[in-house]
Structure 1
Amino acid sequence: MNNRQVALVTGAGRGIGRGIAIELGKLGWFVVVNYAGNAAAADECVALVREAGGEAIAVRADVSVAEDRDRLVNATLGVADRIDLLVNNAGVAPSVRADVLEASEESFDRLMSINLKGPYFLTQRVAKEMIGRGTGGQIITVSSISAFTASVNRGDYCISKAGLGMTTALWAARLAEYGIRVYELRPGVIATDMTAGVKEKYDSAIAGGAWPIRRWGLPEDIGRAVAAIARGDFPFSTGEVINIDGGFHLRTL
């Protein structure tokens, strides 16, 4: 592995995670491409990271399962001996968009386990490794504009993303003394598999000026923000929320 810095990126096979992995590859990092089920997509991402100038391996793990989280971290340490950057990116949308008056507990539990519990306890595990190594580190959690935007047909998703905001604040406050900085990225509408089914809706929103920068966000937009943090460009910031949403969060008259 030589002396490359090491990043563990969850949900990195496709979409935003792939965009992040490739940008880290451009910096020459060693990237652990975590995936839950699509091995072909993860292998493709590994090839793209290598093509960009980095090194990578793919590791299957479901972040909602404790044993899988342990195996993911152990596999990373077994190959790379350290973790310099954790990117909590893995997340899912509801299988069925349902009004909050009708939504099921099954969907709620699934989203909380993957989107919130998984990142919380993976951060706990990785933070302990970083503390033990004694050389600091950085942790990034990818949430969403849904952390503050109410969508009544996917309330479970919104609540899971809002919870990541407090997760970031808690870990930032707890880990600063160890030289570990923690950040939250809030993407807006990004062109991925998750948003493909509502393309017409968002095309119309863009045309109507729902956010000032009138285009779809791209996975590489998120990747570039991660790369800036990975380079150490924010040494006096922690607990910071970085909006990557075309200005959606602005309140204008």
Structure 2
Amino acid sequence: MSRPAAIVTGGLRGIGRVIAEALAAEGFDLTVTDVREKGVAEVRAAVEACGAGFAFHQADISDLADHPKLVEAALGAFGRIDCLVNNAGIASPARGDLLDLKPENFDRVMAVNLRGTVFLTQAVVKAMLKRSAGHPRSIVNITSVSAEMASPERADYCMSKAGLAMWTRNLALRLADENIAVFEVRPGIIRTEMTAGVAEKYDRLIAEGLVPARRWGEPEDVGRAVAGLATGRFGFATGTVVNLDGALSVPRL
């Protein structure tokens, strides 16, 4: 039997890169896609060091016309797709009063975080269903605690993640009897390039108890969780939300 194969979007840096490496360590061959090529050699080396195959497809997932090319690239490289990790996403282009939210910023966030992700998933699932399984199959959507917790200064981002959360639920119902598990992973405050600009703020808030675990989340926290879900060991938990936030999102008095 061939090795399982996964696609990771936004897989050349931050959380996506660590997810790709964690999947490789679990025995997956990887097709990684990203909007830029910077970092390809490093990720390839890390994946291949695990004995896994590596393919790269440069693309912006908001470009729906490229989705068939990505699917073809993954199938051409490894002959199968067993897991899709929808990690690619962007932050709000501008933070500020939601009454000043600009339509072009809203549209860009939705195009990547929600619209692009939804229709890429559609294309990948159709390809999955045309082939025999052989390995556990899964879709893992990386959302955010912002799918539930509001931040009025970046409402566009929060709405995109909330929409992706609802997409996950609907997809889980649609694919349950196809034996394709669907999960939503909600990272909290994770130390990445995206949070580097507000690191000082969150250092202070975490020290003051914002995160009950009293530490930053690390990309490795997310990578380990995604790899575990992709193995099929939790297949009957399809539709589950996994909060990776050090109890940040737990309601409290």
TM-score by length of 1: 0.96
Moved over 6 A (4+): none
By how many angstroms is 1:233 displaced? 1.6
Distance in 2 (alpha carbons) for counterparts of 1:196 and 1:75:
33
Distance in 1 (alpha carbons) for counterparts of 2:242 and 2:91:
21
SS in 2 for 1:154: helix
1:14-33 alignment to 2 at 5 Å?
A: 14-33=13-32
Q: Who is 2:211 aligned against? A: 211
By how many angstroms is 1:187 displaced? 0.2
SS in 1 for 2:99: coil
Q: Who is 2:138 aligned against? A: 138
Equivalent AA in structure 2 for residue 29 of structure 1: F
Distance in 1 (alpha carbons) for counterparts of 2:110 and 2:146:
14
Distance in 1 (alpha carbons) for counterparts of 2:15 and 2:202:
17
Contact 2:149–2:249 under 8 Å retained in 1 = no
Deviations 1:40-84 (A, max 9, x none): 223321211122332212110111111221111111111111100
Fraction of identical pairs, as percent: 49
Contact 1:35–1:42 under 8 Å retained in 2 = no
Distance in 2 (alpha carbons) for counterparts of 1:228 and 1:30:
15
TM-score by length of 2: 0.96
Structure 1 residues without counterparts, runs of 5 or longer: none
Q: Who is 1:5 aligned against? A: 4
1:140-159 alignment to 2 at 5 Å?
A: 140-159=140-159
1:19-98 alignment to 2 at 5 Å?
A: 19-37=18-36, 39-98=37-96
1:99 equivalent to 2:115? Answer no
Distance in 2 (alpha carbons) for counterparts of 1:154 and 1:168:
22
Instruction: Report the aligned-residue RMSD.
Output: 1.2
Structure 2 residues without counterparts, runs of 5 or longer: none
Distance in 2 (alpha carbons) for counterparts of 1:75 and 1:101:
42
| Matched pairs, number | 251
1:173 equivalent to 2:178? Answer no
Distance in 2 (alpha carbons) for counterparts of 1:45 and 1:245:
26
SS in 1 for 2:93: coil
Distance in 1 (alpha carbons) for counterparts of 2:72 and 2:212:
44
Distance in 1 (alpha carbons) for counterparts of 2:189 and 2:165:
18
Q: Who is 1:108 aligned against? A: 106
Deviations 1:191-213 (A, max 9, x none): 11000000011101110111211
